[in-house]
Amino acid sequence: MEEKEISKAVIRRLPRYYRYLGELIESGVERISSSELSSRMKVTASQIRQDLNNFGGFGQQGYGYNVKFLYSEIAKILGLDKKHNVIIIGAGNLGHAIANYVAFEKRGFIMTALFDINPERIGKKIRDIEVLPLSELEAYIKENEVDIATLTIPKTAAKEVAERLVNCGVKAIWNFAHTDLNLPEDVLVENVHLSESLMRLSYNITSVEKSREEQK
Amino acid sequence: MEEKEISKAVIRRLPRYYRYLGELIESGVERISSSELSSRMKVTASQIRQDLNNFGGFGQQGYGYNVKFLYSEIAKILGLDKKHNVIIIGAGNLGHAIANYVAFEKRGFIMTALFDINPERIGKKIRDIEVLPLSELEAYIKENEVDIATLTIPKTAAKEVAERLVNCGVKAIWNFAHTDLNLPEDVLVENVHLSESLMRLSYNITSVEKSREEQK
C-alpha cells in the first residue's frame, strides 16, 4: 500500500520510466544500473533511486535493476495490467489519429467505439471500430462497459457532451477540447491542451530571442 | 526585463490565463477581480495576484484587471504578437488535425507546409497547405523561414528527421513522436506524449479503484 504516499511529481515521471524500460527491453537489455539509466534519461541517478524506492526499491547493490521486472511493476502501478475500454467522441482527424494508434491497445486501452454527429462519418469504420451517431451515446454506455471517454470535439460542444457522459456514469475523461470541463470532483479529467503546449514553445522561442538581443 | 526571473511553473500557467481571458473577452467582460477570476479558474486569488505581479501588477485596487489589456500583455509575453512559421512533418491523421486547426493561425502560428514520404499523400492540400515530399525538406528550409517544426511521425523516424531539421538550422521542435529526441541544448523541444497522458489517467483510475476497495 506504499502507493498512497507517492507524490504527483513521481507519478508524472513514471510513464517516462516505463517508456525507457520498454525501449531497453526492445534492444535486449536485461539489467541496468541507475547511473546508466540516468545518462540515458538525463535525470540524476539519485532522482531515479529516490523515485523507484517509492515502490520498494527494485534495485540491488552491484546488480542494478532487472529491466523486465521493473517494467512490469511500473505497468501494474500505472494500471496497465488491466484492460480499459475507451470510446472516442469526435471522429475527425484527431479522433482518427487516436483510434488508429495501435500502441494504445498493446497497453490495454481498447478503443471500442467512436461517436460523431456528422452523417458522412457515421457508419464508417476506423480499423474495426465503428463510428456511431452521438444520439446513441447513452444507449451504448448502458450496454457496454466504458472506462474512459475521449473528447476530440470543439470546445463549444465539449461541456454538454461531458455532462451527458457523467450522467451515464463515466468516471474518466481524456479531454482534447480547448476548455476546462468543470465536472464533479469524482470524475477524473486528463487534459491535453495542444494550443497551450504550442504557446509554451512560443514563449521559449521569444525568451531566447530576447536574451540574444540583449547580448548584442 | 522582469521576464527573466519568471519561474517555469508560472510559464506553465500563463497559457491558461490567456485562454480564460480570451473566453471573458468573447463573452463581453471588460474587467474582472482576482477573486472572480479565481472562482472561474479554480486557483486561489492570491496565486493569481502573485502570478500576474510577475509582469508588473496589471490589477488596480478596487477595479480589478482590465481584461483586454491583460490579454494582450500575456500575448506579448508568450510571443503571440509575432508570427511563427510552422511546418509539419507527417501528413497522417495527427498532422491533418494540426494543419486543420485554424485557431493556431489566429494566434500567429502559420502552417506553411507539410512533408511526408507517402506518395499518396504528396501533392495533396490541407486547406491551402501543400504536402511536399520529405526529400525536399532541406531545400524548403533554405528558401523559407521556418520557426517551428512539428513532428507527427513514428518514433522510429523521428530522431533522424529531427537531426536533419537541426542541421538546417531549425531551433524549435514540437514533438509528438513517442520518444525523446536528444538534440543539442540550444534546440527547444516541446513534447506532447499522448500515451503518457493516457497512462496518468489510467494511474488515477487505478488509485481510485484501490481506495474504494480498501474502504469496503
One domain for residues B72 and B91: no
State how far residue B126 is from chain A, nearest Cα, in angstroms. 12
Residues of A in contact with B202 (CB under 8 A): 78-80, 84, 108-109, 148
State how far residue B4 is from chain A, nearest Cα, in angstroms. 8
Between helices B8-26 and A194-215, what is the axis angle to 10°? 120
Per-chain mean pLDDT for chain B: 91
One domain for residues B105 and B188: yes
Model confidence pLDDT, tens digit, residues A30-79? 999 888 999 889 889 888 888 888 766 566 667 788 899 889 989 999 99
One domain for residues A176 and A114: yes
State how far residue A151 is from chain B, nearest Cα, in angstroms. 13
Residues of B in contact with A1 (CB under 8 A): 214
One domain for residues A99 and A40: no
One domain for residues B60 and B89: no
Assess whether pLDDT exceeds 60 at residue B109.
Answer: yes
Assess whether pLDDT exceeds 60 at residue B4.
Answer: no
One domain for residues B162 and B137: yes
Residues of B in contact with A156 (CB under 8 A): none
Residues of B in contact with A194 (CB under 8 A): 98, 101, 192
Highest mean pLDDT among A75-79, B83-87, B105-109: B83-87
Whole-number pLDDT of residue B203:
93
One domain for residues A139 and A172: yes
DSSP run (H or E) holding B3: none
Is A207 a member of any domain? no
DSSP class of residue B5?
Answer: G
State how far residue A8 is from chain B, nearest Cα, in angstroms. 10
One domain for residues A66 and A122: no
Q: Contact A12/B84, CB-based, under 8 Å?
A: no
Average of pLDDT values for B157-182?
Answer: 96
Assess whether pLDDT exceeds 60 at residue B196.
Answer: yes
Q: Which of A147, A148, A111 lies closest to A132 in space, CA to CA? A: A111
B165 to A106, A148, B119, B148, B159: CA distances (angstroms): 31, 37, 21, 10, 10
Whole-number pLDDT of residue B50:
86
Assess whether pLDDT exceeds 60 at residue B3.
Answer: no
How far is it, in rounded angstroms, from Cα B107 to Cα B178?
A: 26
One domain for residues B18 and B97: no
| Burial per residue of B167-206, b for 16 or more beta-carbon CB atoms within 10 angstroms, e otherwise | eeebbbbbbbbbbbbebeeeebbbbbbbbbbbbbbbbbbb
Task: Name which of A11, A41, A201, A205 to mutate to probe chain B: the one with the most chain B Cβ atoms within 10 A of its Cβ.
Answer: A201
How far is it, in rounded angstroms, from Cα A78 to Cα A47?
A: 19
One domain for residues B7 and B41: yes
ipTM value:
0.91
Is A210 a member of any domain? no
Residues of B in contact with A103 (CB under 8 A): 178, 195
A52, A77, A102 - which closes a domain: A77
Task: Please report which confidence band the pLDDT of residue B6 belongs to, taking 50, 70 and 90 as the band edges.
Answer: confident
A93 to A99, B85, B98: CA distances (angstroms): 10, 22, 9
Assess whether pLDDT exceeds 50 at residue B187.
Answer: yes
Q: What is the CATH number of the domain that holds B163?
A: 3.40.50.720
Task: Please report which confidence band the pLDDT of residue B60 belongs to, taking 50, 70 and 90 as the band edges.
Answer: low
A174 to A42, A125, B198: CA distances (angstroms): 29, 21, 7
Between strands A109-116 and A84-89, the pairing is parallel
Is A99 a member of any domain? yes
State how far residue B63 is from chain A, nearest Cα, in angstroms. 26
Domain with B153 in it:
84-196
Was A37 annotated as part of a binding site?
no
How far is it, in rounded angstroms, from Cα A54 to Cα A5?
A: 8
The number of distinct structural domains making up chain B is 2
Was A92 annotated as part of a binding site?
yes
Task: List, as residue ranges, the binding site of B for NAD(+).
Answer: 90-95
One domain for residues A65 and A160: no
Is A184 a member of any domain? yes
State how far residue A77 is from chain B, nearest Cα, in angstroms. 7
Whole-number pLDDT of residue A103:
87
End-to-end CA distance of chain A: 57
Is B55 a member of any domain? yes
Q: Contact B206/A82, CB-based, under 8 Å?
A: yes
Is B202 a member of any domain? no
Q: Contact A203/B78, CB-based, under 8 Å?
A: yes
How far is it, in rounded angstroms, from Cα A148 to Cα A143?
A: 15
Residues of B in contact with A214 (CB under 8 A): 1
C-alpha cell at A36: 546508466
How far is it, in rounded angstroms, from Cα A48 to Cα B8?
A: 22
A18, A45, A77 - which closes a domain: A77
DSSP run (H or E) holding B50: helix B45-53
Model confidence pLDDT, tens digit, residues B40-54? 898 898 888 888 887
Q: Contact B92/A97, CB-based, under 8 Å?
A: yes
How many CB pairs below 8 A link A and B?
176
Cα dihedral value A57, A58, A60, A65, nearest 10: -140
Average of pLDDT values for A190-215?
Answer: 91
Q: Contact B104/A77, CB-based, under 8 Å?
A: no
One domain for residues B185 and B112: yes
Model confidence pLDDT, tens digit, residues B149-162? 999 999 999 999 99
Q: What is the CATH number of the domain that holds B29?
A: 1.10.10.10
Is B206 a member of any domain? no
Among B35-44, B123-132, B167-176, B193-202, the minimum mean pLDDT is found in: B35-44
Q: Which of A42, A147, A202 sits opposite B205 (nearest CB)?
A: A147
Instruction: Please name the residue of chain B whose CA is at the shortest distance from the CA of residue A90.
Output: B97
Is A45 a member of any domain? yes
B31, B47, B77 - which closes a domain: B77
Q: Which of B12, B79, B101 sits opposite A205 (nearest CB)?
A: B79
Model confidence pLDDT, tens digit, residues A3-17? 446 787 888 889 999
Q: Contact B3/A188, CB-based, under 8 Å?
A: no
